[in-house]
Amino acid sequence: YIRKQTTANAERYITAELKEHESAVLGADEKAVAVESDLFQQLRNRVVSESTALLGTARAIAELDVLAGLADTAVRRGDVRPELSDDDEIWIHEGRHPVVAHHSASFVPNDLELNETTRLIVLTGPNMSGKSTYLRQAALFVVMAQMGAFVPAAACRLALCDRIFARIGARDEIALGQSTFMVEMVESANILNNATRQSLVILDEVGRGTSTYDGLAIAWAMVESLAELGAKTLFATHYHQLNALQDAHPEIANYRVEVQERGDEVIWTHRVVGGGADKSYGLQVARMAGVPRPVVRRAQAILQDLEKGPAPAMPVERQRLQLSLFEAEPSPVEQALEALDVNQMTPLEAMMTLAEWKQRFRKPDSAG
């Protein structure tokens, strides 16, 4: 035995065998880490030596997984194989949005036709009616068809597109110092400078980020430019004035999302039909969203005034919607007194003014 430690009440001893066992136990962790590292390095080297075969297998499995997923989805949803056409067209019969329709049992299918005669559709309709969904649906059909997938429609026939351009949504680029409208114009410029006749262009409410007349002018000019270019275009807008372009450009067609009015109630059918819309039903949407009734009533009064003619130079006269407990509207007499300058009147003028007021403000049942 070998003395290891002396304490006040005891002596501690070890043996050579115990010392060896202690060293083995204390060094076990380091040895385990070293062995693990060595085994992992061997595995890495073997993987590297077989990397070509492994990557090829992974690509094959991924492709098989995608094709199996597309086939399974097509069978479950009853999708159809799109027909590729030599004609420059997009024809969809009873098309459904691949994602939205999957989560909505009441989704309304719609048709779409762009061909050599009709190159651009101006789509109008109220908010929440489905205009943006209709645009995205068309773009998704082109992507799915050209990647070899079936599409959710009763029938579909389309030509190959060289590019898809989209200007949808509103966002800014704070880091780049670009406002929402600037981002919109940059994306619109990219479309106008790069789209071809074989491109598909979807545009949603271009021009809404600036003043009404500026936005309308930009939207009008863009529609004319795209129509002259001949790119297959869907242009959703609330500028109903753009419906007039159909008369001047035979390649432009007006469509709208149909709604049904029942008194003050508006029912969205989500069905796209021929012809332009003349209302956006913004007040009805505001009421549905929970905007306070006094605000909606005030908006209705302003809208009626604006629809009578050009926008007034001064704000529409505001009527009091509600009075406080101790407040009342000033009477005509009080208003007349407020406008009177008694310091500049002679006694005779004062008597004549009183006589005139007596006649003006006399009650109908008063004898004098």
Tell me which of 264, 288, 312 is where a domain ends. 288
* Domain enclosing residue 231, as ranges: 80-288
Q: What share of the chain in percent tops pLDDT 90?
A: 44
Write down the mean pLDDT value for the chain.
84
The token duo for 82 is: 């799109």
Task: Say what the pLDDT of residue 345 is.
Answer: 76
Residue 30 pLDDT level (bands cut at 50, 70, 90): confident
Q: Which residue has the tokens 């400078």?
A: 193
Which residue type, as a one-letter code, is found at position 126? Answer: P
Q: Are residues 142 and 223 in the same domain?
A: yes
106, 30: one domain: no
Based on the fold, state whether residues 338 and 218 are members of the same structural domain: no
Q: What is the pLDDT of residues 296-351, one digit of tens each?
A: 888 888 888 877 765 544 444 444 444 444 445 667 777 777 777 777 777 777 77
pLDDT higher than 80, residue 361: no
Within this chain, do residues 34 and 129 fall inside the same structural domain, yes or no?
no
Is there a domain that residue 65 lies in? no
281: left (phi over 0), alpha (psi -120 to 50) or beta: left
In a domain, 236, yes or no: yes
One domain, residues 32 and 173: no
Residue with tokens 């980020």: 209
> Strands across the sheet with 200-204, in order?
164-167, 200-204, 232-236, 120-124, 252-262, 265-274
Whether 60 shows a pLDDT value over 90: the answer reads yes
Pair 41, 184 in one domain: no
Q: How far apart are the first and last CA of the chain?
A: 137
Based on the fold, state whether residues 93 and 191 are members of the same structural domain. Answer: yes
Question: Are residues 173 and 132 both part of a single domain?
Answer: yes
Task: Determine the pLDDT at residue 28.
Answer: 83
Does residue 7 lie in a domain region?
Answer: no
Which residues does 104 contact at the CB level (< 8 Å), separation at least 6?
none
* Mean pLDDT confidence for 26-50: 90
41 falls within a domain:
yes
Please indicate whether residue 128 or residue 318 has the higher confidence score (pLDDT): 128
Residue 98 placed within a domain: yes
CATH code, 213: 3.40.50.300
pLDDT in tens, 63-107: 999 999 999 999 999 999 999 988 899 999 999 999 998 888 889
Query: What are residue 202's DSSP bridge partners?
Result: 166, 234
Least confident of 33-42, 75-84, 200-209: 200-209
Check: CB of residue 195 under 8 Å from CB of residue 226: yes
Examine the domain organization and report whether 29 and 123 are in the same domain: no
Sorting pLDDT into bands at 50, 70 and 90, what band is 363? low
- Residue 223 included in any domain: yes
pLDDT of 290 reads: 84
Same domain for 215 and 337, yes or no, is no
* Bigger pLDDT: 353 vs 164: 164
User: Does 267 lie in the same domain as 349?
Assistant: no
**Total number of domains in the chain:** 3
- pLDDT for residue 283 is more than 90: no
Residue 284: per-residue pLDDT: 81
220 within a domain of the structure (yes/no): yes
In a domain, 5, yes or no: no
Same domain, 22 and 100: no
